[in-house]
Structure 1
Amino acid sequence: MDKITTILMNLIKCSIHKENIAIQQYCALSQEEKEQLFQLCSKHSISVIVGDVLGKSKMIEKTPDVKKLINESFMSVYRYEQSQTEIKKITHVLTELKIPYILLKGPRVRKYYPEPWLRTSCDIDILIHEEDLDLAINGLMEKCSYKKQERNYHDVPLVSPNNILLELHFNIKENMDNLDKVLIKVWDYSSPVDKDNCLEYEQSNEFFLFHLLAHTAYHFQHGGCGIRSILDLYLIHHQMPYNNEKLRTLCREAKIETFYEYVIQLSEVWFGECSHTPVTLAMEKYILHGGTYGTKDNSIAMEQTRQGGGHVRYIRSRLFMPYKALKMKYPILKKHKYLTPVYQIVRWYKALSSGKLKKYTAELHLSKRINQEQLDSAEKLLEALKLNL
């Protein structure tokens, strides 16, 4: 790890382990280095954690940059309370409509953080059965004034009057066959939270952790997964009881067992006491470059590598969405597959009419500029993690 990365990870350790090891290291940084640190925090959506640590230390000078981070921590508390209120409204409507549901990711991950608001999230993810989708959407629009947005591969986004995004999932698939064949079993691995609330379901501990690993593996292969995803896995791995063999069985079936092993190793390097290996070092470089949501050049390099390399193949894959993904976006295709070419054109028209032409043009140009070194690095990483399926 370089100097800035080391101090950032030590600041996170200050939060999760209640240590003070990084404060003096931070104070010794130059102003330029501090700015690099703050940029890295922002890129990986962990400004709240670092702001909380710096805000609590009496040794830290409260410069404008530090005050900005501290303010982000205060805002995170406010957003967390807003989110909790919204979850209560949503689940109340689902309960009234007798719709079973599962709270995904954030709401359950947060309890493993020192404070729940330290785990930021820009949306609420809830899973329901696909047959309940229309009923749930209509109920939320009528009772809570939600506004429906365009259907995605595995969810329908809805926006509340105070601009909180709900991703109402009808499945948790990632559009990757190896992951999806296990993720479709989510309801089989879930049970009611308690006998008095038979509509709220919760994933088993093993499946919950598997889902996070699968989601991380998906994003890792599509540009990057960010520091926060690795921190989630570290905290859950250390605090939540689970049967390791059951988890490994799920990972093995989804062909991410090696990825699971290395991502836990990386978390121990960053937040524990382990040392780097060549593989975790390569993962670190890739993840730090990608940020929270990944970078387009990371994503294109990975996609070109999976397709055997080549700009032309990549462009073809972007122009023609596979039927499996297209039918989730346009459910009519499930019964009328022959309309697939028509809906490819509908998709193109919507993309162009939404003002995204510049974005797609920039992506095409970037695809041409991916060099052999980037492709070789992506290929070696996929091979080491056994993700080159």
Structure 2
Amino acid sequence: MSIPNLRPESVDLLRRMFSGQKTPWSADISADIFFQETAAQGMAPLLFRKISKQDCSDWPPDLLARLKETALRQAAAELLLEADLRALLHAFADAGIEPLLLKGTALAYSLYPEPWLRPRCDTDLLVAEAEREKAAALLQGMGYETLLEENMDYVSAQKSYSKTGPGIRFSYDLHWQISNTNRQFSRSFADEHLFAAAVSVPSLGEHARTLSKIDSLLYACFHRAGHFSHSGDRLIWLHDIHLLCQSLTEAEAETFCAKARRLEIRALCADAIAVSKSWFSTKLPEQLATLMEAKTNNETFAALLKPGGRQVGIKHHALLELRALPTWRERIRFLFQNAFPPPEFMRWRYSETSPLPLLYLKRFAEALYIFLKR
């Protein structure tokens, strides 16, 4: 499966490097292009670490220097990011709020040899919906500014907060559903007792908790599918899945497969694990290897893997969400909020200076085209 914005020459170099093969430099690609593509995939620090353990003396010196500088900058930034996160988690604990760390930051501190090896643009926090307003007030009270003030529950199940520190920006996404785009999956996943099964992250202090390894892998596979239908794969997400797969015991792998079946995401999981294995030569527990042979054509979320690009992905997401909403009133609210979001969202989403009526007309025309397209 292809990775968007990654040239075949870059694919060959990265695949060979991360599968442990000897990797001489290819004269068929510019070092600058290779660096940009690797960094865009979130793999620059990991590549630097790989290179430091292999003989890459024929690689361009300028490229090696840029990879080293990127890794050092990431490591330095991590010290500040960690201190800010620890302070925030302590404040949440004092307020009686128990968030769960999700995705990149959680995995950086629980699976990766060093947290700076896992780049990310923000830290994701999941809170119980009952604690949503309390958590938002705490963030704002600590000086974090929200990107969009108005709540848009049928457009997004998260809010972004950030503040500027010494030469760095601290950014957090506050979630009150496990999936930002699908309520049906969020409800089903919540029924699997996410918070009760949560585990501690000792390297981040006594107040840091995240999903169990089983739930983290389920979530990583669903998250990857959600973005895959919009914008394609990203290598760092596949590497997360690779590490999670290798961390499971046979018993945990069996539980994972049972949960994937109940959540109707075996197809998403099997595809994610297969693609990850093709890149990183993942050593799979027997249960996960068997999962990839399961018949999953009738699963609810299998549509998210259908080809067709971003527009087809948006259409499948919207249809899944509409079917899952229990009443026509909620479906109408979903359609209205997505067709006519608040003005501040429209200006942020389209980054244009055009008059608002024209932006709404553009959004309506895009939606009409997507839903009428076969």
Task: Report the TM-score, using the length of structure 2 for normalisation.
Answer: 0.70
Given candidates 154, 159, 167, the residue that maps to 2:157 is: 154
Letter in 2 for 1:254: L
Return the offset for 1:90. Answer: 0.8
SS at match of 2:254: helix
Q: Does 1:84 find its partner at 2:90?
A: no
The two structures, once aligned, show a CA RMSD in angstroms of 4.1
Asked if the contact 1:54/1:70 (under 8 Å) is kept, the reply is no
CA deviation vs aligned residue, 1:210-266 (integer Å, no higher than 9, x gap): 111111121122222311111111111112435223211221223221221232122
Q: How does 1:206-355 map to 2 (within 5 A)?
A: 206-241=214-249, 243-272=252-281, 298-303=309-314, 306=316, 347=341, 349-354=343-348
Return the offset for 1:155. Answer: 1.6
CA distance in 1 between counterparts of 2:342 and 2:143 reads 30
CA distance in 2 between counterparts of 1:221 and 1:338 reads 24
Distance 1:300 1:85, change over 3 A: same
SS at match of 1:233: helix
Return the offset for 1:41. Answer: 0.8
Asked if the contact 1:182/1:250 (under 8 Å) is kept, the reply is no
Return the offset for 1:75. Answer: 1.3
Task: Could you list the structure 1 runs, at least 4 aligned residues long, displaced by more than 4 angstroms after superposition.
Answer: 55-58, 186-189, 191-194, 196-201, 321-325, 337-346, 351-355, 357-369
SS at match of 1:164: strand
CA distance in 2 between counterparts of 1:112 and 1:204 reads 12
Q: Which has the higher helix share?
A: 1
Asked if the contact 2:90/2:207 (under 8 Å) is kept, the reply is no
Asked if the contact 2:246/2:282 (under 8 Å) is kept, the reply is no
Give the number of the structure with larger relative contact order, counting CA–CA contacts within 8 Å between residues 6 or more apart: 2
User: Which has the larger displacement, 181-190 or 4-13?
Assistant: 181-190
Identity across the alignment (%)? 15
Asked if the contact 2:159/2:173 (under 8 Å) is kept, the reply is yes
CA deviation vs aligned residue, 1:264-302 (integer Å, no higher than 9, x gap): 12222211189xxxxx9xxxxxxxxxxxxxxxx821143
Distance 1:342 1:226, change over 3 A: closer
Long gaps (5+) in structure 1: 14-18, 275-279, 281-296, 308-316, 326-332, 376-389
Q: Which residue of 1 aligns with 2:127?
A: 128
Task: Report the TM-score, using the length of structure 1 for normalisation.
Answer: 0.68
Distance 1:179 1:113, change over 3 A: same
SS at match of 2:231: coil
Asked if the contact 1:54/1:60 (under 8 Å) is kept, the reply is no
